[in-house]
Structure 1
């Protein structure tokens, strides 16, 4: 079984994730903007000033090329995220609306309440009003699952998330105020995205998402004899979600999380955050474990082949969590269906109990889905529509 140590390729010093979190100082978009994105990434990951590493994702770029694209602002359609049905580019949103959008995912925020405020305080027929209506429409929490969300005391816990801070900056820099229905048609991205993919991952974990996963792993009746449910992070990539879960501050009455990162190594990342990735096929790992008490976590599951459907069908536990697209762009899971639509049509014994928006990079529309198995038979309300 191969194990990968934490590393950042072509860095000056050994990459130490704990040190990065403890010394993280780029918590404000203004700080990042003043130093520049390029310099902040170089500093955080100890990269050479002459760094020429080529980041491959949906496109290819170097860190310097990404900075050049940032400096170009919205020229040549680089910020054309919002188009009407008639293909007319909508004027960019004001900075105050962008700040209101990113604040939805602040660790201190109550997501549902913040969504309501975001929508109700928007100017009539503004981008923000359309986005607010869309996000509220997609938001879904089964009444029985509300206790999984962070309460006021949990939202006061210390939380450092470098990806989230960098994402906030990207929203302001790229004039992005969140997804709306027409985001489904967005087919381009920005040079910053491959940098994020390689150093942090495909999608940013919000505090709310991490807390929900941590809660799902807790035994149903916490006692000294009850064990925490293992979290199988299948397709863990560079391990950022696993690392953030392992380092999440939790309540004293909660049991420490046991997260198992599993990845076959088919994708390359410049930065790897963890040392114990299990380098095997996801289906093989699930079948070997054969656990009925586990939580399955799929972060940005790939579309090609039968990976997603095979993993879902092999899993014997009672909880599935997926971080992926919530529109019809086909970026994750399945090319022609969102994950909740596919499960509703192919795994009727599972019910959607939660769909929360995630911090979405410009041009993306991502969410956290939670499904629970109905042990009594066919589940109900699997589409999440009330």
Structure 2
């Protein structure tokens, strides 16, 4: 899913915008307000251009699931739901026709969710709200058989916080101004504009995406952090360094540092990104780096959107994740990836918690919480621990192990 590799160039935080600086950007609340005003008018291109100080008539081509310019993306945004561009949910395919035995090639898309349901989904990730309360609201106010009910049921069934670790219950941010997370602002706009109210079984079979996604990937990364996820990582790190292996453009490292977590970013630099959030990435193969540094015994290992591999991507399917887990000598593993079977991260047809339960029984699942997901996706943060740091099974709890 990561953008394709580009030739090495002199370092700049943002290609085509040599004056852009991530620290200055995050601190400029007036700039965030101007970007928000652009998004309120559905002017995605202007919001990106102003946020990243891009030149007029920017010609950069974003390579990922498709190759597009910012102007082309804005044109597609203007098409709205035409050509099934907003078809994120579909009903089950009808049974095969008894006459010819042929299964219909496509399932019928479901009507888009109400805006109020999208807004409630997004409130789950608002740092000023308590996530359990919003999830309860999402469920209690849902009509039976509705998309909202399906989304609520899916998120509640996947969410897990080990009952023996009360520190995982993250309260809402009480500070007057939470740490800015511009990725969340852009993602919230995408969900509203593209009419996505969260993942559920009706969205899992949809394999389409949208032209907005390559732009967000290039500027922010493949998955968006939430306040809850960052706070959970800070809690399980317990003062230790987090090693962000496969760190990409460094957005998760940048955000964790903003939360007061020490992070070492390691990446093979096989992918290119238009925006880079840090400049101290250690360029190295992850497994080799762990091998040279004691397996990261005293660090937390963080894998954000690990590749699947195999086929045209090269390597063995699931090999990237398997090799890193085997090479890691520490006791706390965190993974950001898909929590359904769409095969976007880690493994084809197997989620991270299923892999750990099947092939790594020595680990205990400590947490699994949903992340704000781009339309059509279903992302989560998984945390596993072992040894003395692994939480002990709570009385009557049969789901403590991954």
TM-score normalized by structure 1? 0.89
Residue 54 of structure 1 corresponds to which residue in structure 2? Answer: 61
- 138-147 or 166-175: which moved more? 138-147
Residue 355 of structure 1 corresponds to which residue in structure 2? Answer: 368
Q: Do the aligned partners of residues 316 and 108 (structure 1) sit closer, same or farther apart at CA in structure 2, a change above 3 Å counting? A: same
- 204-213 or 122-131: which moved more? 122-131
Distance 1:78 1:45 in 2: 26
Shift of 1:96: 1.0
Shift of 1:23: 1.2
SS at structure 1 position matched to 2:165: helix
Residue 171 of structure 2 corresponds to which residue in structure 1? Answer: 151
Q: Do the aligned partners of residues 144 and 72 (structure 1) sit closer, same or farther apart at CA in structure 2, a change above 3 Å counting? A: same
Contact kept in structure 2, 1:6 and 1:273, CA below 8 Å:
no
Contact kept in structure 2, 1:164 and 1:204, CA below 8 Å:
yes
Residue 3 of structure 2 corresponds to which residue in structure 1? Answer: none
- Unaligned 5+ runs, structure 2: 1-7, 94-106, 310-314
* Superposition RMSD in Å: 2.4
Is residue 274 from structure 1 mapped to residue 294 from structure 2 by the alignment? Answer: no
Residue 342 of structure 1 corresponds to which residue in structure 2? Answer: 355
- Unaligned 5+ runs, structure 1: 219-227, 249-255
SS at structure 1 position matched to 2:367: strand
Is residue 142 from structure 1 mapped to residue 162 from structure 2 by the alignment? Answer: yes
Residue 332 of structure 1 corresponds to which residue in structure 2? Answer: 345
Shift of 1:149: 3.4
Residue 22 of structure 2 corresponds to which residue in structure 1? Answer: 17
Alignment of 1:295-334 (within 5 A): 295-304=300-309, 305=315, 306-334=319-347
Q: Do the aligned partners of residues 284 and 62 (structure 1) sit closer, same or farther apart at CA in structure 2, a change above 3 Å counting? A: same
Shift of 1:3: 12
Shift of 1:6: 5.2
Q: How many residues align?
A: 368
Distance 1:105 1:159 in 2: 13
Is residue 292 from structure 1 mapped to residue 292 from structure 2 by the alignment? Answer: no
Greater RCO (CA < 8 Å, at least 6 residues apart):
1
Is residue 32 from structure 1 mapped to residue 39 from structure 2 by the alignment? Answer: yes
Shift of 1:257: 2.0
SS at structure 2 position matched to 1:270: coil
Alignment of 1:86-125 (within 5 A): 86=93, 87-125=107-145
SS at structure 2 position matched to 1:348: coil
Distance 1:326 1:382 in 2: 20
Residues 106-142 of structure 1: per-residue CA shift (max 9 Å, x gap): 0022212211111111223221111111111111111
Q: Do the aligned partners of residues 257 and 330 (structure 1) sit closer, same or farther apart at CA in structure 2, a change above 3 Å counting? A: same
